[in-house]
Amino acid sequence: MSGGSYSQRMKPAVFFDRDDTLMECNSLPAPPPPAKQGDVIDPKLVRVLPGVAAGLESLAQAGFALVVVSNQGVVARGGGTCEQVEAVNDRLREQILLEGGPVLAGMYYCPFHPQGRVPEFACEHEWRKPAPGMLLAAERELGIDLSRSWLVGDATRDIEAGVNAGLAPERCLLIGPEAPFADAGAAASWILSQSGATRTPSTTMSMVAASPDGLSDPGVRATVVATAHGVAERAGVRLLKAAISPGMLEVTIEGGRLACLGLLTEVRRITNHWSGTRGGGPLWAGEEG
């Protein structure tokens, strides 16, 4: 529940979810009950995810305040205490610094949960995402200009919290293996590219589905996006964004048209083959544009 220690008037922020956005979470061994898989209450287990420290550092250099907003219902469930959550948060701050990252402007967490069993915390609360309370507290306490701010998280409720705080939906970035942004580092690069804060050129190209709703199956869309992330990683291309709709895939990379075309061609080859092995037709129309 602690806020930040410094305040500067009307600074844009990037709000980050904590678990599986900045640090490992669901891949860790389950803690003893009533804590559950995904609860991190032991500071010794804090591992900053790859690309996080560098991404945060570039955002800080571009003038963004970095603010963590994290649901910690584990406290209400009796699986950990506020002191344990704060010890994990402190370890995360420290680890980010050790890896060359910046000082975080604020770290907010919500210990409440309506189904909790610790009476003090067993209730719904305006800070619990998808409610926007933590972002609004940061706005007041840290002097954040929400209209120029962004949010990055790995869950729908993170995105909803940003939108509920009044952030533009296109400034609330979902990350994950099947999401438009692979990880927090990719989201940071995207934010910098959209803020004019980077000199690295980016290229956006799209590929049209073989039929107008040829990608209507969410499982197919998820496979295509995961393939794009995988191809980019193997090729050493920085994929900033992979946006997919029932009618097309649009990718933005750091770099020029040739690399972008190469990425799309490979995604087309792999996913058309994959579709064929499932008895489907080609997913993609003739030309990239």
Catalytic residues: 17, 19
Q: Please list the alpha-helical segments (H only) found in the chain.
A: 52-61, 82-98, 133-142, 156-164, 184-194, 218-235, 257-277
Q: Which two tokens stand for residue 173?
A: 């970035």
**In the complex, least distance from residue 158 CB atom to Mg ion, rounded to whole angstroms:** 6
Q: Which of 19, 39, 139, 160 binds Mg ion (CB under 5 A)?
A: 19
125-184 residues near Mg ion, rule: CB under 5 A: 154
Stretch of residues binding Mg ion (CB under 5 A), selected from 13-21, 96-104, 174-182, 253-261: 13-21
Quote the radius of gyration of the chain (alpha carbons, Å).
20
CB closer to Mg ion out of 175 and 192:
175
**In the complex, least distance from residue 154 CB atom to Mg ion, rounded to whole angstroms:** 4
**In the complex, least distance from residue 4 CB atom to Mg ion, rounded to whole angstroms:** 20
Asked if 20 interacts with Mg ion (CB under 5 A), we say: yes
190-209 residues near Mg ion, rule: CB under 5 A: none
Three-state SS string over 108-151 comes to EEECCCCCCCCHHHCCCCCCCCCCCHHHHHHHHHHCECHHHCEE
Burial, 67: exposed, middle or buried (Cβ in 10 Å; 0-12, 13-18, 19+)? buried
CB closer to Mg ion out of 24 and 141:
24
CB closer to Mg ion out of 61 and 156:
156
Q: CA-to-CA distance for 9 and 203, rounded, in angstroms?
A: 34
List of residues contacting Mg ion (CB under 5 A): 17, 19-20, 154
